[in-house]
Every structure is written in C-alpha cells, then in structure tokens.
Amino acid sequence: MIGRVNHIAIAVPDLEAAARRYRELLGASVSGVQELPDHGVRVVFVDVGNTKVELLEAFGEGSPIAAFLERNPDGGMHHICYEVADIGAAIRRLTEGGARVLGDGKPKIGAHGLPVVFLHPKAFDGTLIELEEVKPDFAPA
C-alpha cells in the first residue's frame, strides 16, 4: 500500500534559523517558506536528492507543533510521510485494521497541494505517520 518516503519532518523552534543551518552548513537546497494555516504550521522543504526533509514550526493558534515544541524545546523528528496511490482506499484499509486517522478522518490538502492524512502514533510504534496521495507521473510517449 505505501510507496516511497516522501519526506521526514522535523519540528523546529525557529524556521529561518533552521533553514539557514541546512543551507549554509550542509549546503542543501532549501525551498521558500510556505504558511499552512489549516495545519497550523510554516514549512520549508530541504531537497536531499532521494527524498525531502520538511522543517516545520508552529503557526497560529492551536498549532499541534506548539505542543510538540513545549515537550521538545530544541525540536526533533515529528513525523514521516509515505506516498500512497489512493488515499481513500488507504484510509478504509487502515481503519478496518484498527488504525486511527487523526482529525475528522478526512484528507486535507497538504503543502504539496495533494490530499494528506495523519495516523495516530499508537498504531505505528510511537511514530506519527502522514500519508500523501500522489499519482504516478506519466511521460508523454
């Protein structure tokens, strides 16, 4: 059901400082800042060739990242995102298997403009999982 790792997300207390460290110290290519008020985060993506690292900080009232950073003031790994071909089918299979989809159980549009859901960490050995629906790229013949 799951495809490749789309990204690994790291919560940070200061997005600009973290992006600068990745750019200047690691020589990484870092995207511009995206504000995602529906998810309560500001993000940048670090391109590492075979996947991405998402740096995210709290944004707005009730951000889930704010609570994470209260417990982990220096930041840390927040979640891992896997690609799926059909998010509706994935949700059905997971809920039938006993996994809990967070929120209202319906996909939201994520940072890449694609449907995403988050799965409760208790179902996956303490790791928050994000699923992102992607469609295969078809090259013209």
Active site members: 130
Write the DSSP string, 64-116.
HHHHHHHH-TT-EEEEEEEEES-HHHHHHHHHHTT--BSTTSS-EE-TTSSEE
Cα separation, 56 vs 30, whole angstroms: 13
